[in-house]
Amino acid sequence: MSLHAIIPAAGMGSRLGGLAGGAPKSLLPVAGRPILLRAVDALEAAGISRLTVVVGYQAWRIRDALGERVGTVAIDYAHNDDFASTEHGFSLYCARHAWARSRLPVLFMDADNVFVPALLARLLAAPQPDCVLVDPGLDSSGQDEELVLGNAGRVSGFVRGRARDFPHCVGAFVGMNRFGAAYMDRLFAFMQELFEREGRGFKYERVFHRMLVEQGAAPAYLDSGDLGWVNVNHPRDVARAESLLAGTTPSSGASASMSSTA
């Protein structure tokens, strides 16, 4: 499939405490295989052969784990040297030069998600060129989450809060997105202007929201179809992810913490 995958994996993952042993969170083993390598396996199975990983904290560990190729997936690296003082919106921006060499449509996904392969297949099969996955199975009584607002198939906002407080909430933000080349071109140009104007402390969900509000760039949203995923942020999420892979958890991953990695 002619897509350029981008995975930001520059952050420290401090909320896992000592569980990651000081290594980047994306290298935490789940059911015997690091989270990031599981994602690369899924890319290979989907026929995606080009991947840029954004590294920062202990970048050498990720380089050693992945190298320049995993199976049929060729891997290059972009660096966020300021990972400790920026947010993952800037990590995505650090991949702009790598993307400019291909200018392909992008599959953009978090480095700390464990998911069933069918979820990726669902996103790739969507007819819309610009699309974000949402999970409508969110427990609305839970803590603040990254949410997507929408109407008639189009995103109207990216917010953080409780689903019950937003009547137009269509689900939790899964952290798996597919964007066409035109959207990416526009996004990187918007990021440059935004960061120069207001600094680099933006999560990428806030960047998407600002671009939507200021420029009307509204991607489509796609229901996750009750397919399982877990965003691994806390030690309890590891057990949930392993249960998911073993087929023993409810299909929705939205009751897990949703905050994305840097």
CATH topology of domain 4-246: Spore Coat Polysaccharide Biosynthesis Protein SpsA; Chain A (3.90.550)
- The amino acid present at 89, given as its one-letter code, is G
Of 127, 211, 225, nearest in space to 171 by CA: 225
Pull the structure tokens for residue 13: 């993952």
What is the spatial distance between Cα 91 and Cα 53, in angstroms, rounded to a whole number?
10
Encode the chain (262 residues) as per-residue pLDDT tens digits. Answer: 699 999 999 987 766 655 556 789 899 999 999 999 999 999 999 999 999 999 999 999 999 999 999 999 999 999 999 999 999 999 999 999 999 999 999 999 999 999 999 999 999 999 999 999 999 986 655 677 899 999 999 999 999 999 889 999 999 999 999 999 999 999 999 999 999 999 999 999 999 999 999 999 999 999 999 899 999 988 889 999 999 999 865 444 444 433 333 4
- pLDDT for 21: 64
Domain ranges of the chain: 4-246
Q: How does DSSP classify residue 80?
A: -
* 138 within 8 A of 256, measured Cβ to Cβ: no
What stretches of 3-102 show up as alpha helix (H) in DSSP? 35-45, 59-66, 88-93, 96-100
What is the spatial distance between Cα 21 and Cα 258, in angstroms, rounded to a whole number?
22
Instruction: Tell me whether residue 127 is exposed, middle or buried, using C-beta atoms within 10 angstroms of its C-beta: 0 to 12, 13 to 18, 19 or more.
Output: exposed
